[in-house]
Amino acid sequence: MKVYILEDSADLGQLLCEFLSLEKGATCASATSFAQLVENPEPALSADLVVLDVNLGTGQPSGIDAYEWLRANGYRGRVIFLTGHGAGHPLVKKARAMSGVPVLEKPVEADRLLELL
Amino acid sequence: MVRPGNTPAHEAETELAWRSAVAACVVTALGQIGFGALGLREFGITPVLIGQVIHLLLATIVLVALLTTASRPSVRRAVVAFFVLFAPLPVLLWMSQSEMMTRGLPWAPFSGHKLVMIALAVLMPGPWAWPALFILLTAVLALLQFYVGGLASAPNTWTGEPWMTVVYAVMALLLLGFRAHHREVGRRYAQARAQADALTEMSRFFLALRDLQNTPIQTLEIDSAILERRHPESADAIKRMRRSIGELRDISRRLARYDRIVQWETESDRFDPEAALQWLERMHDELNEVEGPRRRRLQRENA
């Protein structure tokens, strides 16, 4: 299983990769910004699952922008949004409105994360 | 701009008080010019005319004082302006009625009293007790002049008095009561609105705190899960750590309830928790700058 994680916290991105490798034997890559994703899209486009943080920093393209970019560039795999914001934030609402894309609110318990993945 | 320590409602009330005082000065000045001009044409220079000129000058001085302090208006200053404008009126009204009575011309008495009572009810700022007292004083003055000052036996007055003036006094008091009630409702509404705004702001900061701590808690959660699997010999220590993380997670969930209160402006509204907290810190520093010297003085006094 190949997983790609786009998360602006480098620590969390790396840890998620480590955790998924440990628990699921996944091959994992991570990036901290939309620019990094666009610069090196291959690990994301070839992944079975992409985990996108909704907010990638103030003034930066969001996880939703990344989702749209991935779909526009032929990615057909599973996507999960991860967010630290509340359900009322417009970006989170927009993410929730996308059919078939689960939105997980941080902090998610490790076991629950595994179940959902 | 709202001055430090003042609420927008207080600012609005102060501004209204200042405008009312200015309006009272203008009305007094115009009234005295009009009545004075009529009196001069009909009767020449009389003590009443001199009194009217003095009152006009007084109104002008008060108006200038109000205009020069327009940048720092206060309700108290506006109330004092009304006191100064009202002070010569009992004498002036008494004199004008006496003069008309002695001239023997037909006239409607107490028209000045009625105007003054209505103007007080509509314009005078501050506690409602002052305009009520002035209205009663004006009505009593009319009754006194009617029954004691000889107006009752004057042949050249309209017979509806003094009760028509009493009716005006009652109307003025009712008007004043309505105004006071309206002001109280407005004050309560402003207070409720301020509380709602404060709650919204507070909710924003709770959300800012929650958003800022969610990623570190998530990091700790995954980290502890990895440690738990890799180091089963440290199970007890990791369990304690995970319990603490669970408590942090609960706090985060409790803070999530404030999400319902905050209304996001637009879809592209990117809420920056760091900027929100920096804004709060700046506000705290500014408030400290304003309140600090007062607080230190109080501490010295208490010591």
Given CB atoms, is B299 within the 8 Å cutoff of chain A?
Answer: no
Given CB atoms, is A115 within the 8 Å cutoff of chain B?
Answer: no
Residues B267, B270, B273, B278: is their CA dihedral positive or negative?
Answer: negative
CB-nearest partner of B225 from A12, A19, A58: A19
What's residue B268's pLDDT? 47
Residues within 8 A of B (CB atoms), A 74-113 only = 82, 84-91, 94, 105-111, 113
Would the CB atoms of A94 and B267 count as touching at under 8 Å?
Answer: yes
Would the CB atoms of A89 and B264 count as touching at under 8 Å?
Answer: yes
**Each residue's pLDDT tens digit, B163-201:** 999 999 999 999 999 999 998 898 889 888 888 888 887
A46-50, A57-61, B85-89, B260-264: the lowest-pLDDT one:
B260-264
Averaged pLDDT score across all residues of chain B: 86
Contacts of B219 in chain A (CB under 8 A): 9, 11-12, 15
Given CB atoms, is A9 within the 8 Å cutoff of chain B?
Answer: yes
Residue type, B78: A
Would the CB atoms of B211 and A91 count as touching at under 8 Å?
Answer: no
What's residue B4's pLDDT? 45
Bridge partner residues of A50 (DSSP):
A4, A79
What's residue B113's pLDDT? 95
A54-63, B38-47, B271-280: the lowest-pLDDT one:
B271-280
Would the CB atoms of A58 and B275 count as touching at under 8 Å?
Answer: yes
DSSP string, B126-184: S-THHHHHHHHHHHHHHHHHHHTSSGGG-TTB-TTTTHHHHHHHHHHHHHHHHHHHHHH
Given CB atoms, is B189 within the 8 Å cutoff of chain A?
Answer: no
Would the CB atoms of B214 and A107 count as touching at under 8 Å?
Answer: yes
**Residue A1 above 60 pLDDT?**
yes
What's residue B110's pLDDT? 92
**Each residue's pLDDT tens digit, B253-287:** 888 877 777 776 654 444 566 777 777 777 777 77
**Residue B289 above 90 pLDDT?**
no
Q: In what order do the strands lie in the sheet with A103-105?
A: A27-31, A2-6, A49-53, A78-83, A103-105
Residues within 8 A of A (CB atoms), B 248-267 only = 248-249, 252, 256, 258-260, 262, 264, 266-267
**Each residue's pLDDT tens digit, B102-138:** 887 778 889 999 999 999 999 999 889 999 999 999 9
Residue type, B40: L
Residues B115, B80, B134, B146: is their CA dihedral positive or negative?
Answer: negative
Average pLDDT value for residue range B36-60: 93
CB distance A32 to A5 below 8 Å: no
- What pTM was computed for the model? 0.60
Q: Counting one residue from A and one from B, how many pairs have CB atoms under 8 Å apart? A: 85
Name the token pair of B228: 């738990």
Q: How far is A23 from chain B (nearest CA, A)?
A: 9
Q: Using CA atoms, how far apart are residues B287 and B109, in angstroms rounded to an integer? A: 57
What's residue B42's pLDDT? 85
Name the token pair of B64: 């200038």
Nearest CA in chain B to A13: B219
**CB-based contacts of B281, cutoff 8 Å, min separation 6:** none
What's residue B279's pLDDT? 74
